[in-house]
A and B are shown apart, each in its own frame.
Chain A
Amino acid sequence: MLFQRTLGVTGMAMAAAIAFTAPAVADDGFTLADIPEIKNKEPIHVALEAGGAADLIIPYLQKFSEVTGVPVTSESMVFATIYSKEVVELQGQTGAYDVVVTETSWTNEWRDYLHSLTELAEKYDPEGAAGLQAVVDGIDPGLLRMASTRDGVLVGVPYYTYTMISIYREDLFGDAGEQAAFKEKFGYDLAPATEWQQLLDQAQFFTRKEGETLKGEVLDHDFYGVSMMAGRFPHVQDELAAMIWSRGGHWASPVREDGKLVGFTITDEDREIMTWAFTLYQELMKYAPPGSENAFWDFATAQFVEGNTAVIPLMYNGLWNWASSVADEVPGARAAAAAVVGSRPYTGAFHFAPSRDSGNPEAAYWLLKYIGSFATQKEMIEGGWAGTNADVLRGPDKTVETNYAAYGWIPPTLEQWDAQAPDVDDYLHFNSSAFGKLYEQMTIIGHENATGATDPAESLEAWEKAFGRLQGKFGELPVQ
């Protein structure tokens, strides 16, 4: 939906820009023209994530191929199974993919199969590591940490982020009647939530039956407070992580000796916070539309766009573009984005990482540098893409006023990145080598909790058991 929309409106213009205009001179100044002669002409094959995302990347691959003379082919894979396919090819050491698309939480798991970018830069870049540094400097440091192993070795260039933001109906929150009613009921002003209790209050407040009024108008359908993604998809983990992190808790806390990570442990504080998060999730589900028990971002956002919910408390910034179209679907509606409660949303990115079994790491390196460069990111972001380059995002023209649909997600995203950057190093997701597996297990536990199959205490117990077993079996660091 998102990219198709983008493709229809701005995508064409963007494609034209790539084809016919000289690349704009940018901060790091790096453009296609700066790539030196690549001696190795062996074709490279890039694994891509399916959907419209592939459509936007492919023109850049072609451009790279034209300029460097290295043939680039790509293969897009369904989201639900991309992890499995890449693991088989990487662990089977087939060398089929020269560049793999990597979810940031898989970084540590795959580190044995990926090149260190710095090493590649020293080998192939005339400017050495500094040449690489100039490009990645613009990218948010938190995302860079996520694209690095726990020892700080950068293995990929993040090119696309899914940082969660909160999306709410600005028109409802700004309505004088609703504001007064809310204040009367809860004793404080109606505004985007900064505490979870406020979000719960809002969720309850906006949940209305058919025939009741909303903004003074009689509803011809039921209306709900929040859109949730409680289906057995990875997203339920992301929502829970945002809750847990917001209170300084962890799925499992790092144990350090002399600053070096030596293991993980679930502390009593973690237990308390996780139980609270599981409870909060169940509470929010009471104000979510029917169907949320099996929902993921698609149906959750659709509920908002069709005017059935007031807030999506935790949604990927890439869906802002579609969510904001509530303005076209519902008369008088307008969406706004805010930082999620606690400003510690689930944050991740897809990064391109060169495989160690690649026959042409040289070309892979330059492709990465090209995709991550300021100029490329700028083009992508202006095409509606949730780019990772903070320098581009901070541009004075990247505001809601200049482009509501394309840029509305940017201010809360930047705010959250800044808030979260110091914490990233402590998150289990970016330290455990078993995370691809843990993620799947968290999905199951989160979903069972959300649907009420397990109560919060049971959910916690299930997690502790599963974590001990999976980390022990697939991870390198012990559970203490």
Chain B
Amino acid sequence: MRSLLFWFAVGLMIFVFIFPVLWIYVTALKAPDDIFSDNPFLFSPTLENFDYLISVRPAFGELLNSLILSVASTVVVMLISLPAAYSFARFNTGRGHILFITISTRMFPGVVAAIPFFLLFRSIGLLDTHLGLVLLYTYFNMSFATFLLYGFFREIPESLEHAAMLDGYNRFTILRRIVFPLIKPGIAITTMFCLIWSWNEFLFAFLFTRRVARTISVSQSTFWGSVEIQWGPMAALMCIAVLPTLVAAWIMQKHVVRGLTFGAVKG
């Protein structure tokens, strides 16, 4: 009985979480005439929306751009955030002030920051370049990544490092051999969030790119015109665009449970 109740609760939760996304897939299989109808479940599935995407509006370049940008910005974020988070956690650098400032970068409205960046990027030629977007994504993913990693480094007892130091290891060996393996789950989960957020980011991508560095999230918006919304193709592209994040999430899934502790609870 209890287990029945448990599975009912789990089933309900999963249903609520995935139904809207499932509905995107259903919509992607609908012909235009079936988008607005009295019975949303009654239609004959068709692949014409995917066909349209491939033959009329291919978005391979955009997919590739998103991939490049997400991966590159995540790598840069890690290069910056990992050492910084270690410094915050081990040496309490800046006594919390710098850490707080880092976290607060996400508080400033993006649109307001976007315009000075636009003017700056125009003068240094970074508009519509991959580098420009990588820098911007690094900037806004950095804060959360540092905070998350900070928690993981906190979890590692300082004594462990001292002991290793007494054994004659130098600092880099300690970091590589002792600290790094311990925070692997943290790196995994941080990477995942950075990847997902860069992948889905719209405003900067829309404003700072034209065609060279255009991303898939911008492509997803191009089905909304002044006298027509192409629901089917839009849903179809959403279906495709969510797949890489799904894969990323699947790979990282086992770390998630270990991962999001922020070092705030010690077992």
Per-residue interface assignment for chain A, residues 82 to 115, with 1 indicating a CB less than 8 Å from any chain B CB and 0 otherwise: 0001001000101010000000000000000000
Contact A302–B227 (Cβ < 8 Å) = no
Stretch of B30-38, B97-105, B187-195, B242-250 lying at the A interface: B30-38
Docked Cα-Cα span, A328 to B33, in Å, equals: 10
Contact B210–A78 (Cβ < 8 Å) = no
In the complex, chain B residues whose CB is within 8 Å of the CB of A88: 115, 118, 207
Show 17 residue pairs from A and B whose CB-CB distance is below 8 angstroms, ordered by the A residue: A1-B35, A1-B228, A4-B32, A52-B230, A53-B228, A54-B225, A55-B57, A73-B211, A75-B210, A76-B222, A78-B224, A79-B225, A79-B226, A96-B127, A162-B227, A298-B228, A350-B226
Contact A1–B32 (Cβ < 8 Å) = yes
In the complex, chain A residues whose CB is within 8 Å of the CB of B36: 302, 305-306
Within 8 A of B (CB), among A185-209: none
Contact A78–B221 (Cβ < 8 Å) = yes
Contact A49–B226 (Cβ < 8 Å) = yes
Given contacts A85-B207, A88-B118, A94-B127, are A50 and B224 in contact (CB under 8 A)? Answer: yes
Residue from B37, B228, B232 in contact with A2 in the complex, judged by beta carbons closer than 8 Å = B228
Contact A3–B226 (Cβ < 8 Å) = no
Closest to A51 in B: B225
In the complex, chain B residues whose CB is within 8 Å of the CB of A3: 228, 230
Closest to A52 in B: B228
Residue from B127, B228, B232 in contact with A51 in the complex, judged by beta carbons closer than 8 Å = B228
Given contacts A4-B52, A50-B223, are A75 and B211 in contact (CB under 8 A)? Answer: yes
Binding site for B on A (CB under 8 A): 1-5, 7, 45, 49-55, 73, 75-81, 85, 88, 92, 94, 96, 162, 297-298, 302, 305-306, 316, 318-319, 325, 328-329, 350
Docked Cα-Cα span, A73 to B212, in Å, equals: 11
Contact B227–A50 (Cβ < 8 Å) = no
In the complex, chain A residues whose CB is within 8 Å of the CB of B225: 49-54, 79
In the complex, chain B residues whose CB is within 8 Å of the CB of A53: 225-228
Other A-B contacts than A4-B228, A77-B206, 12 sampled, CB-CB below 8 A, are A4-B52, A50-B225, A51-B222, A51-B223, A51-B226, A52-B230, A75-B210, A75-B211, A79-B226, A85-B206, A298-B228, A316-B227
Contact B222–A96 (Cβ < 8 Å) = no
Interface size class of B (residues with CB under 8 A): 20 to 34
Closest to B229 in A: A298
In the complex, chain B residues whose CB is within 8 Å of the CB of A319: 227
In the complex, chain A residues whose CB is within 8 Å of the CB of B227: 2, 51, 53, 162, 297, 316, 318-319
In the complex, chain A residues whose CB is within 8 Å of the CB of B115: 88
Docked Cα-Cα span, A7 to B31, in Å, equals: 13
Q: How many whole Å from B101's CB to the nearest CB in chain A?
A: 29
In the complex, chain A residues whose CB is within 8 Å of the CB of B57: 55
In the complex, chain A residues whose CB is within 8 Å of the CB of B232: 4
Contact B230–A51 (Cβ < 8 Å) = yes
Closest to B115 in A: A88
Docked Cα-Cα span, A444 to B229, in Å, equals: 22
Within 8 A of A (CB), among B154-181: none
In the complex, chain B residues whose CB is within 8 Å of the CB of A96: 127-128, 210
Q: How many whole Å from B210's CB to the nearest CB in chain A?
A: 5
**B64 interfacial contact with A, CB 8 Å:** no
Within 8 A of A (CB), among B81-126: 115, 118-119, 122
Docked Cα-Cα span, A329 to B214, in Å, equals: 39
The 5 closest A-B pairs by CB, nearest first: A51-B225, A78-B221, A302-B36, A50-B222, A318-B227
